Structure 1
Amino acid sequence: MRIVIIEDEPLAAQKLTGYIAQYWPEAEIVAELGLVSQVLAFFAESQQIDLIFSDIELGDGQVFSAMQQLDLPCPVIFTTSYDNFWMDAFQSQGIEYLLKPFSYKRFCQALTNYAQLSAAMTKGAESSNDKQYKTRFIVKKSTGSVVLPIADISCFRAANGVILARDKQGEYHIISESSITELEGRLDPRQFFRLNRSEVLNLTYLERFEPYAKDTLAVYVKQLNEPIITSKTRSAGFRRWLEG
């Protein structure tokens, strides 16, 4: 286990470190970060992390201001003294919400939930060949509703609170999914890949890709003028996905 702790209170960080060592003696705490600026700097580089423990109120602001800019590589367990950030937490890859001061028993419950989630994701990946994925969307137009086959969609994009599907003619359509994460779970992973926080590619329409900046790629899509830039955390996975 490779773990990151985001916490600006030394005693709280020490307690959490002790809990982790007791539960997972073999775990490696890769970094302890206490500022939003440190979070941004750390995750600006590609990181192989399994789990993040994160406080919310840090010395230079709320951690959400960093997470909104990042494509995190793993789930987050939030640890906080405030009980009014539930919605923000679960919109930032949160899987648990520990209210300080929390006991070791409550900590173990959170880790049990994490283990169950990991097992479910592994099982889902193993059975993905048998899963039924989306084959079409119903799109509302001013003149009525039309059927948009998924084979005709070159990419999806989250923008201004809605999910847009771009068809092979270059036209954008609003679809009903509420988030890019929800959409991703309904697409065949053999055909679609999430390139960054807000964009998903259909392999059929991939034209080419090339290095862009450190640890990122510029992905060119047929009939799309500008390339899609991969996030640093997804570039290596994109290459492996292309290799099948």
Structure 2
Amino acid sequence: MKVVIIEDEKPTAKDLKRTILAAEPGATIGALLHSVEEAIEYFKDNADTDLIFSDIQLGDGLSFEIFKRMDNQVPVIFCTAYNTYFSEAFEATGIDYILKPFSKAAIEKALEKYDTLEKWFTRNKDTYKEQLSLLETKITPKKNAVIIRQRDKIIPLEAAAIALFFVDNGYTFAYTFSQEKFIVNENLEELENSFAPSFFRANRQYLVNRKAVKDATHFFNRKMIVNLSVPYKEQILVGKLKTSLFVEWLSQY
């Protein structure tokens, strides 16, 4: 997911970048833009943005001018100190409205909303593309291993030996039942496509092997904690939008 931030206060822009990457480790920040003029110029040559975080009152005008000029179709999460622009925000492809000072929880909630909307609209694309995707899934063999590169060696690591995949500081790792950790080249989306349904995407950071799940515990705000059969220091949460899918997955695989 490629994110662009429009914010005229540079320290705030950097803080927002850090918060987004902490909440969504798989995201990339395409640009930090600080004015209406700079943003209009940027979007002339960069049409591959997935999501925009934008302030409203910038030093040279309101950010709505940017979206009018670029005929914007990209979802926007507005992050502003003013609570007087709700109607304009949602007319400008806005999907959420966060008041400053923002919190990590507010950013996470907005990103969850984006994920839900993105999956909904993807699911409802035209039938031909769905059928083509289904056909490709049927004829594309699932992988049984990932490739680990160590110096001059290429080592196949079998999926059955992997308890989970996780993202940390922009890198994807495989964590094995023997408590070893290896860097892998694929991202979590690619690994999910290769190893589902034996593995479940608990959240943006973790892809868990069914054989590694001992049980699950209810958590605050309808989330669940995944308890593993192997020692692992971090807490793995399943978001409330995925808990029913997770329970169904536990019962089937």
Question: What TM bracket, shorter-length normalisation?
Answer: 0.5 to 0.7
Give yes or no for the alignment of 1:200 onto 2:207: yes
Give the match for residue 135 of structure 1.
144
Q: Which runs of 5+ in 2 are unaligned?
A: 25-35, 53-65, 75-120
- Distance apart, 1:142 and its partner CA: 4.5
Alpha-carbon separation, structure 2, partners of 1:221 and 1:200: 12
Q: Identity of aligned pairs, percent? A: 18
Counterpart of 1:225?
232
Gapped regions of structure 1 (runs ≥ 5): 1-53, 72-79, 93-97, 107-113
Correspondences of 1:1-244 after superposition (within 5 Å): 57=6, 67-68=20-21, 70=23, 82-84=40-42, 86=46, 89-90=49-50, 100-102=68-70, 118-119=125-126, 120=129, 124=133, 128=137, 130-142=139-151, 144-177=153-186, 179-187=187-195, 189-226=196-233, 227-244=235-252
Query: For residues 119-176 of structure 1, what are the alpha-carbon distances to aligned partners after superposition, in whole Å with 9 as ceiling and x for unaligned?
Result: 4457635874553122112212257332211111110001112110011201011111
CA–CA distance in 2 between the matches of 1:69 and 1:123?
Answer: 35
Structure 1 residue 216, shift from structure 2 partner: 1.1
Distance of 2:51 and 2:190 partners within structure 1: 12
**Structure-1 separation of matches of 2:152 and 2:240:** 42
What is the aligned-residue RMSD (CA, Å)? 4.1
CA contact 2:4–2:51 (8 Å) conserved in 1: no
Q: 1:202 to 1:122 in 2, by over 3 A?
A: farther
Aligned residues: 171
Contact (CA 8 Å) 1:64, 1:88: kept in 2 or not? no
TM score, norm. by length of structure 1? 0.54
Cα distance change, pair 115–167 in 1 and its aligned pair in 2 (3 A): closer
SS in 2 for 1:100: helix
Give the structure with the larger helix fraction: 2
Instruction: Tell me the secondary structure at the aligned position of residue 222 of structure 2.
Output: coil
